[in-house]
Structure 1
Amino acid sequence: MVKFDMGAAWDDTLLLLKSHSALIGAIAGVFFFLPALAFAWFGPIPIEPPAGASFEQVLATFRESFRQMLPGQLVVALSTMIGSVAILRLWLSRSGVSVGEALTFGLMLFPTMIATQILSGIGVGIGIILLIIPGLYLVGRLALVAPAIADRAIYNPIEAIRTSWDLTRNNGWAVFFFLFLVSLVIVIAALIIGGVVSVVAGTEAGAGRMAGGLVEAAFGAIGSLFSIAVSAAAYRQLALRGGSDIFQ
């Protein structure tokens, strides 16, 4: 049984981010950054509850804001999903893959990714309801679904989930904490820089919103890249079972 090594996985994460950097940057720009930027600049502005609002008013404001923002957020999420599979295909392929082939692959596996995300989300959601801890554990156990799909061209969502479950056996918490620590660093950096931009440019419509949207989209793209890189690094480490499984 392979024991997950966070240090080795982090080194491999950085190695992945450096590999195919121009191609990865182009895909991330088109599928991660630009959709998020368009939504930040042209999407609906979150509704703020009035001063002294009651709990019911705050809840109603939240529901309306969520309803307005949901379509755009879905478009951004679906675009990110396609780009993620394409990037994972470039990283995990044991032979040369062109950008066109990677994107075609991402489109072909798109329905599988949607199905696995829905099933995984339901599982994690139920786990969160059950005192949170089971949900966090499931995040670690299901973290390798996307890399497994990209590497093995798995079209069956149940098989993809089962593959991640098998690969993370006895390593669920280690994988979760690896993902959590990397995400925490990115979130803290985004909050600091976003706060600085808000102070300098303001938060009103116009320059403030454009500057804030630019920072938000940039960190969203960076966060997505790191997220799929750490999952790919964890997959590369835990999927090694023999000479035929060695990644180049």
Structure 2
Amino acid sequence: MVKLNYMQCWNGAMALLGAHKEAILAIAGVFLFLPTFLFAQFVAQPILTGDEDLNGLLAVYTPYLNENALAIMASNFVISFGGLAIYLTLAPSRNTTVADDLITALKAFLIYLIANLLTGLLVLPGLFLFVLPGAYIWARLVLAPVVIADRGERNPVGAIKKSWSLTQNNGFSILLFILIIAVTGTITIGAVQAVVGIIVGLATGGAGWPFIENLVASLTGTAFQLVLAVIIMSVYLELTGKKRDVTEVFN
């Protein structure tokens, strides 16, 4: 059984990013960054005081969700579609154009959504059991989208089962690796946004400039999503032994 090597996964992820940067940046710009930025610009976020209890949060978010349900769903669908297209672009079994990847993503999108929904249903009970069981289940199922992209799996249950099989004995390793990346990325994004907020605040006398702040938040969020995508693909390559195929592409 292959054991996950963090350094090889990280190096493989950065190599993937470098090898496919033009294609994935084009897809990310249209399907990840643009909907995120437009949503931030035109949908006002609920204002919290920080003192809300559960009932207070429900009172704030219920009207927000009711008023913006269509925008939230449309934005998430576009971003999800872009994520699948990026996985298709990174898949070692494919050597196609961006247009071909987008067409394939459109054909497989429903399967992808169902697989994500089933994953959520499996993870949710575990999250209620002190969080860790749910996080572990998520780590075991995280490769399901990659299975759909690389192996042409069109059965969402089959994709989930294959991910569970591929991640055997590596669930906690995957969870820890992605958690390290997520924490590091969150801290970095927070620091960048804080610096930009200070600069914009000083430049505008404390009034702020939402356009710039939303732009920076959308750019950093998109970059973080891309890093997570290549990390997950690199984990898949590591566990399936397909690193040789990727190396040939780089050379």
* Sequence identity (%): 27
Distance 1:106 1:100 in 2: 10
Q: Which runs of 5+ in 1 are unaligned?
A: none
Change beyond 3 A, Cα 1:56–1:4: closer
Output the amino acid matched with 2:224: G
Shift of 1:118: 0.7
Distance 1:53 1:6 in 2: 40
Distance 2:52 2:87 in 1: 46
Distance 1:23 1:164 in 2: 26
CA deviations on 1:132-163 (whole Å, 9 max, x unpaired) are 11101012101111111100111110000001
Change beyond 3 A, Cα 1:237–1:196: same
Aligned to 1:39: 39
| SS at 1:2 equivalent | coil
Output the amino acid matched with 1:61: V
Output the amino acid matched with 1:224: Q
Aligned to 2:209: 208
After the TM superposition, which of the residue ranges 64-73 and 158-167 deviates more from structure 2? Answer: 64-73
Aligned to 2:232: 231
Shift of 1:6: 1.0
Paired residue total:
245
CA deviations on 1:75-131 (whole Å, 9 max, x unpaired) are 222112212222222211335211111111111110011101111111111110112
Change beyond 3 A, Cα 1:97–1:128: same
Report if the CA contact (8 A) 1:49-1:57 is conserved: no
CA deviations on 1:193-215 (whole Å, 9 max, x unpaired) are 112222332499x9621111101
Indicate yes or no: 2:125 matched with 1:129: no
Instruction: State the TM-score, normalized to the length of structure 2.
Output: 0.89
Report if the CA contact (8 A) 1:27-1:83 is conserved: yes
After the TM superposition, which of the residue ranges 78-87 and 230-239 deviates more from structure 2? Answer: 78-87
Output the amino acid matched with 1:152: R
| SS at 1:25 equivalent | helix
Aligned to 2:25: 25
Change beyond 3 A, Cα 1:5–1:53: closer
Distance 1:182 1:70 in 2: 31
Shift of 1:240: 2.0
Please give the residue correspondences for 1:20-169 in structure 2 after superposition, counting only pairs within 5 Å: 20-43=20-43, 45-49=44-48, 56-169=55-168
Change beyond 3 A, Cα 1:67–1:196: farther
Report if the CA contact (8 A) 2:94-2:150 is conserved: no
Q: Aligned-residue CA RMSD in angstroms?
A: 2.5
Distance 1:48 1:126 in 2: 29
Output the amino acid matched with 1:238: L
| SS at 1:109 equivalent | helix
Distance 1:52 1:140 in 2: 33
Change beyond 3 A, Cα 1:158–1:55: closer
Distance 1:151 1:52 in 2: 46
Report if the CA contact (8 A) 2:135-2:175 is conserved: yes
Instruction: State the TM-score, normalized to the length of structure 1.
Output: 0.90
Indicate yes or no: 2:219 matched with 1:218: yes
Runs of 4+ in 1 over 6 A off after TM superposition: 50-55
Output the amino acid matched with 1:134: P
Report if the CA contact (8 A) 2:40-2:214 is conserved: yes
Distance 1:54 1:151 in 2: 44
